[in-house]
Amino acid sequence: NHNAKLTTTSPSLGPGAGKGTQCARLVKDFNFTHLSAGDLLRAEQDRPGSEYGELIKTYIKEGRIVPMEITIKLLWKAMREQGERSGVKEGGRFLVDGFPRQMDQAVKFEEEVVPSRLVLFFSCPEDVLLQRLLKRGETSGRADDNIESIKKRFKTFVETSMPVVEYFDKQGKVVKVDSGTKGVEEVYAEVKGVFQGVFK
Ligand code: UP5
Ligand code: MG
């Protein structure tokens, strides 16, 4: 592996579980770069001249997983750019938010980019996720924060993304945090404790 010194961490996969919210807090307290696969895909979708724009738009609205070549390319580019900006060629630490969420991506990224150190899994019941996403949808402008897309995202999560969590769990990398019954700050106190233990 040509990037063995990189550290990546994947915070959960569930739609609306609080990945983005918790990552924003983590980067303030720890030296990590936050890369949201969803945000990178949305930026690529809106980039004038992108050859993937229409494809990404359709996949996101349908709650389907965009082919891994596209997502891995965007992540790799963002990691490289961050390395160039900071002048650090090796040893960068990345919080990869919402990725990998399909087995082929997990295997390819671990083998060809960098193995993850820790997988944070935010567990949250579907009815709570639904309420959060519908509420966020009132202002988010996201094309997938509507009831039809949300239901499709849940289905993809259970059928396609949960096997990824199980795969990492077998490797002892998963730390599960309950984000369904606790407020943002309470969840963060727990997440911060996990990070302090692992990334001293
Ligand atoms: N909130 C958060 N925590 C809370 C708490 N503890 N108590 C009360 N409220 C809480 O949070 C969601 C909402 O809940 C917010 O309003 C927040 O204030 C509140 P957020 O932090 O945004 O949750 P997050 O898990 O980031 O939710 P998000 O909707 O971003 O998750 P998704 O996984 O659905 O979205 P993502 O952007 O990762 O992916 C979107 C789509 O892109 C996918 O469906 C897929 O089509 C595509 N995609 C790929 O194809 N491949 C990839 O690798 C990644 C994405
Ligand atoms: Mg998010």
Query: What ipTM was assigned to the predicted interfaces of this complex?
Result: 0.98
Q: How far is CA 116 from the centre of its chain?
A: 12
Q: Which of 36, 41, 144 for mutating ligand 1's site (highest number of atoms within 8 Å of CB)?
A: 41
CB of 121 sitting under 6 A from ligand 1: no
Handedness of CA 130, 104, 81, 23 (dihedral sign): positive
CB of 11 sitting under 6 A from ligand 1: no
Compute, in angstroms, the gap from residue 14 CA to the centroid of ligand 1.
Answer: 7
Measure the CA–CA gap between 164 and 169, rounded to whole angstroms: 8
> Is residue 142 a known part of a binding site?
yes
Q: Which atom of ligand 1 is nearest to the CA of 37?
A: 54
Structure confidence at residue 4 (pLDDT): 41
List of the chain residues with pLDDT < 70: 1-13, 89-91
Structure confidence at residue 2 (pLDDT): 39
Structure confidence at residue 82 (pLDDT): 87
Measure the CA–CA gap between 85 and 188, rounded to whole angstroms: 28
Structure confidence at residue 157 (pLDDT): 95
Sole residue written with tokens 């997988």: 119
Compute, in angstroms, the gap from residue 100 CA to the centroid of ligand 2.
Answer: 13
CB of 173 sitting under 6 A from ligand 1: no
